[in-house]
Amino acid sequence: MRLIAAIMVLTLIAIGVGAIAGLHLFAAAERVADAKKTATPPPLATSYAGSARLRKLSPIVTNLAAPANNWARIEASMVTDSMSDEDAGILAAHISEDIVTYLRSATVAQFDGARGLQHLRDDLTERANIRSSGKIRELIIETLVIQ
């Protein structure tokens, strides 16, 4: 009889401690959820001013220098300072011509791997920056397909 009474008392104590621990954990979880709801997210950092604009270039398809039967298709966008749509259209046409000229003098081996794509991006951005007298901040390569 004493054994059964001791087991019952220990069971009741375990149930009480478990209930108190559960309520404490539930209250802590609610405090954390409320703190996350009221917290403001940090502002996004950007390297572009409010006047920067993204302008899409028309897709460019051209053959490569070597091997002669390989073709490249590139879609890109340029980040420019504020300028009129007419000036941006003319500049986009000149940049597209420069990209065609560059790709026609390149080989497939130049674009091999991540480093090759980074060099392509850097070279095209530098050419665009020179062509635009610094009005283009960056040239973004969206797709590059070599066939």
| pLDDT value of residue 4 | 93
Residues 39 and 66 in one domain: no
Residues 22 and 71 in one domain: no
Residues 66 and 137 in one domain: yes
Residues 73 and 128 in one domain: yes
Spatial contact of 99 and 78, defined as CB atoms under 8 Å apart: no
Residues 1 and 32 in one domain: yes
Give, for all 147 residues of the chain, the pLDDT tens digit: 899 999 999 999 999 999 999 999 999 999 999 888 888 777 766 666 677 888 999 999 999 988 878 899 999 999 988 888 899 999 999 999 999 999 999 999 998 899 999 999 999 999 999 999 888 889 999 999 998
Catalogue the E-assigned strands of the chain: 53-56, 60-63, 71-80, 136-146
Residues 38 and 57 in one domain: no
Spatial contact of 136 and 79, defined as CB atoms under 8 Å apart: yes
Residues 27 and 82 in one domain: no
Distance (Å) of CA 4 to CA 1, 11, 14, 15, 110: 5, 10, 15, 16, 83
Question: Both tokens of residue 23?
Answer: 């309520």
Q: pTM value?
A: 0.66
CATH of the domain at 80: 3.30.479.30
Residues 83 and 113 in one domain: yes
Structural domain boundaries enclosing 36: 1-45
